[in-house]
Amino acid sequence: MSEPDTEPEFYAGRPRPWRPNDLVNGGGSSTGRAVYGAVPGGVAMSHNASEPVPPETLGGLVREFSKAAAEMAVEFGKGCRDVVRQCLGNRDSVLRRSLGKVRGSYLGKRVTQLRRKLRFVNEYLPEDKDPIHAWSVIVLVSLLAFAVLYVNTEATPSSPAPEIKKMHIHPPRAARVMLPDGRFMAYKEQGVSADRARFSIIAPHSFLSSRLAGIPGLKPSLLEEFGVRLLTYDLPGFGESDPHPDRNLESSAMDMLLLADAVGVNDKFWVVGYSSGSMHAWAALRYIPDRLAGAAMFAPMVNPYDSVMNREERRRTWGKWTRSRKFLYFLARSFPRFLSFFYQRSFLSGKHGQIDKWLSLSLGKRDKALMEDPIYEEFWQRDAEESIRQRISKPFVEEAVLQVSNWGFSLADLKLQKKEQGKGVLNWIKSMLSSAQEEYIGFLGPIHIWQGMDDKVVPPSMTDFVHRILPGAAVHKLPYEGHFTYIYFCDECHRQIFTTLFGTPQGPLNFTAEVDETPLEGNTEEPEEEVTLGDSVPVLAEA
């Protein structure tokens, strides 16, 4: 029996109890008096304008939203399931026949066991009692939601899009040497000539760079003043160097040695490593230590997954990086083939954007200010153009994988320490009878490290880790300096670096030889003549 539309006189002048029709009528009455209605959760509350509505808590809103999202995901999944069943779920379908064969197989048994293990989550699901189905749909909807949010964030009008410039590939003009395996390596030479060089430096470049980088902004006059010959080269697959079919850090060190021999570096040379290029310098210290006079590192990169790194060092390192960069490191370590997709969309696309966006870098204030300088912008664009000349992603993927994979050696192998004597009676007798000095292993030369304390690309915690493993390394901490500011276009910084490495400038080698002639009879004076040989006499560079 339906309830009357009019109220009896018994309720005149006061609110009447709630009735089912209120749900249809919206909780109101025809008379417009204050009545009671239903609210979520089944709690009755007054809608009188004079009574304030209690605010919703944040936790309650999150729970309600989560429940609603889960219900929507399950309903969406049910619809997809129904479509699949109608199309492929009949008895004559190929899928149904295939599943019938799989159920009795090993794979079918494993799926059944998984379904049983996941039954404990049934109580958290709104209606559906198939956890594999429901949670897979929730994950799918979540991924779609994140994709939509990412697109919307990219297209927000509040943040103006950076200017996009087209990259130009310049004609090849590099000097190249052919290595024993037939590959060509491109290099660039700066400073004094080979026969006048007092010091020789070889500098491998960092990621998305080339032989053109070297020490950015280094003046030729400073190289002449210290008598330095600077050699930079393109890593395999970068610039004008041919790719390596199966490169690793040991092959990288061998390439450096072969280049030194090919261009006439006959004595020991210094190696300079900057950022990710420092891993090639570490490899040189490990595999060709006898050819190195020393090493200069600037914000040196180490493997962030190194097992020797303790929990605090790892936390301080990863905490400085953006989520995008962490994700790229994860891909490089676990799914390196997916990196090619990201690289093709960014720097291999032929368009020039912001380096911090391309490489997912987080920069300090001084680094950001430097990047806005037109001099740096012009330099970096030309360097990046040369780096991607071959337009292939393989060398970049290889470089990223090398950063986070097993290097084949540990930094502890570079530590200077006494060589352990072998055990046994014969070794003991040999050590007693031998008058030779104790042998040492590790790198015997100096290692200098410059680290900006405001560096967020290679955090200072990495240098702290290196110093803990290699306590003999000289660490120069630079307050307020970032990742780029100390080594890029800083004349005074470059002079400080060279003075630290080489001491007082003495200029290039310029030999003078004294020629003593036997005086002839009748001559009262003994002539003494100085003959300047200059560049005609080949000499060895000092270490």
Domain annotation covers residue 26: no
pLDDT at 57: 62
Residue 48: the pLDDT is 45
Q: What is the rounded average pLDDT of the residues 93-110? A: 60
Amino acid at 506: Q
Number of structural domains (the chain) is 2
- Report yes or no on 376 lying in a domain: yes
Residue of 276, 277, 397 whose CA lies nearest to 347: 397
Nearest to 304, CA basis, from 335, 325, 281 = 325
Query: What CATH number has the domain bearing residue 340?
Result: 3.40.50.1820
Is 518 inside a domain boundary? Answer: no
- Say if CB 301 and CB 458 are below 8 A apart: yes
In a domain, 411, yes or no: yes
pTM for the predicted model, two decimal places: 0.65
**Greater pLDDT, 6 or 181:** 181
State pLDDT tens for residues 488-526.
999 999 999 999 999 999 999 986 544 444 444 444 444
Domain limits at 135? 109-148
Compute the mean pLDDT over every residue in the chain, rounded to the nearest whole number: 77
Which one, of 70, 49, 68, 63, lies nearest residue 128 by Cα?
A: 70
For 139-168, the pLDDT digits (tens) are 666 666 666 555 444 444 444 545 566 778
- The pLDDT score that the predictor gives to residue 498 is 98
Using the predicted structure, report yes or no on whether residue 218 has a pLDDT greater than 60.
yes
Same domain, 228 and 329: yes
Please indicate, yes or no, if residue 117 is contained in any of the structural domains.
Answer: yes
- d(CA 75, CA 128) in angstroms, rounded, equals 9
307 and 453: one domain?
yes
Whether residue 268 is contained in a domain is answered as: yes
Residue 9 above 50 pLDDT? no
Is 332 a residue whose pLDDT tops 80? yes
Would you say residue 101 lies in a domain?
no
Of 126-130, 341-345, 354-358, which gets the smallest average pLDDT? 126-130
Round to whole Å and give the CA distance between 483 and 488.
9
pLDDT tens-digit profile of 55-91? Answer: 456 566 667 767 777 777 777 777 777 766 666 556 6
Q: 123 and 258 share a domain? A: no
One domain, residues 197 and 326: yes
State whether 210 and 116 are in the same domain: no
Question: Which of 131, 148, 165 is where one domain is finished?
Answer: 148
pLDDT given at position 434: 58
Residue 255 sits in the same domain as residue 135: no
392 in the same domain as 341:
yes
The answer on 382 and 251 residing in a single domain is: yes
Calculate mean pLDDT across residues 285-294.
Answer: 96
> Nearest to residue 445, comparing CAs of 301, 300, 542, 543?
543
Confidence class for position 347, pLDDT limits 50, 70, 90: confident
pLDDT at 44: 41
On whether both 119 and 191 belong to a single domain, the answer is: no
Residues 207 and 142 in one domain: no
With respect to residue 21, please indicate whether it lies within any of the assigned structural domains: no
Confidence of residue 133 (pLDDT cuts 50, 70, 90): low
Q: Where are the alpha helices (DSSP H) in 244-310?
A: 249-262, 278-287
Q: Are residues 357 and 300 in the same domain?
A: yes
Same domain, 335 and 257: yes
